[in-house]
Each structure stands twice: as C-alpha cells, then as structure tokens.
Amino acid sequence: MILVAVGSNLPSRAGAPLATCQAAVREMAARGIAIRAISTWYETAPVPASDQPWYVNGVVRVETQLSPHNLLGLLHVIEKDYERERGTPNAARTLDLDLLAYGSHVLGQGPLILPHPRLHERAFVLLPLKDVAPDWAHALTGQTPAEMIGALPQGLENQGIRALSLNA
C-alpha cells in the first residue's frame, strides 16, 4: 500500500488551499499515479503551533510502478508546479506532498525515510490515514492508524483538527 499525505495552507495557482490539494490529487492521476482512495479533507492547526494560517490536510492511497525514490521525485515536481518554495522547515506552503509509506519498504537514511519518520506523532496525518487505510500497519511498529491515534500524548483535541464540510 502506497500512502501520500497532501497539505496546503497558502493559495497557489489553483486557488485556496483546499482547491490546491484537490488539484494536486488530479495532477498525480494525470501523471500516471492511480488514485485508489482519498480521505476526508481536514482543517488543521499548524504543527508546531504558530501564527501561520491553518492547513488543509488529507491522505491518498495510490498505486504506481514508480520506485519510492522516483515517486518522491515526481511528488516534488508537482509541489513545484503548485509554487512550493522550500526554505525554513515547518514554514507555510502552497503544497506539501509527503510519501508516508510504500508497501513494506523500510528506508532509514538519506532524502527518503520510510515509513515517514513523524507520521505517528501527527494527528493531521493519522486521521486522514485512518480514512483511507484503517487496516494499514506501520512497517516498524505494527500499529494501525487507530492505535497510533490512541497513543498520541496530547490527544486529538489539542492538535486542532476538524473535518471540512464540502457542502457548506
């Protein structure tokens, strides 16, 4: 199972953050990545806490023949197409595409670490991950998304997360 986190908190050429996230998913599909499931979109407070705008976050379950490194490269190209500027860590951004997991691959060093090294700490990743892959198990810990959510030290309520109503 291949899982990609999608996030944005600044407008891009596609529009507001939600429109950017949705356009990025369509762009992945247009570039040959098969989209198998899209989570609910969530509004989330910045982590770590700051005065930057709230994010829109989700997770997509995909299939591709690309290797993990080539998939990450393509995700970076899509980010750049949506005006992503890399600079300060945790800075506001137009688009963030993170490769969370690629099957049972475990990579522990270099520019790509799998599973993503902080996914178990981030409710803004775990809630949408649970939407698209509730039975997925972390390759190192064996924990499911629900188990990782239950292990969060602060609890979800302290990480500022709410599902977006797309009908509003």
DSSP category for residue 12: B
Q: Among the options 61, 84, 122, 131, which is catalytic?
A: 84
Q: Among the options 13, 26, 36, 96, which is catalytic?
A: 96
Residues, the chain: 168
Number of H helices, E strands in the chain: 4, 6
Separation of alpha carbons 9 and 20, rounded Å? 9
Residue 98 annotated among the catalytic residues of the structure: yes
Q: Among the options 93, 118, 135, 162, which is catalytic?
A: 93
Q: Among the options 13, 36, 61, 98, which is catalytic?
A: 98
Separation of alpha carbons 86 and 83, rounded Å? 10
CA angle at residue 100 from 162 to 158, to 5 degrees? 30
The residues annotated as belonging to the active site are 84, 93, 96, 98
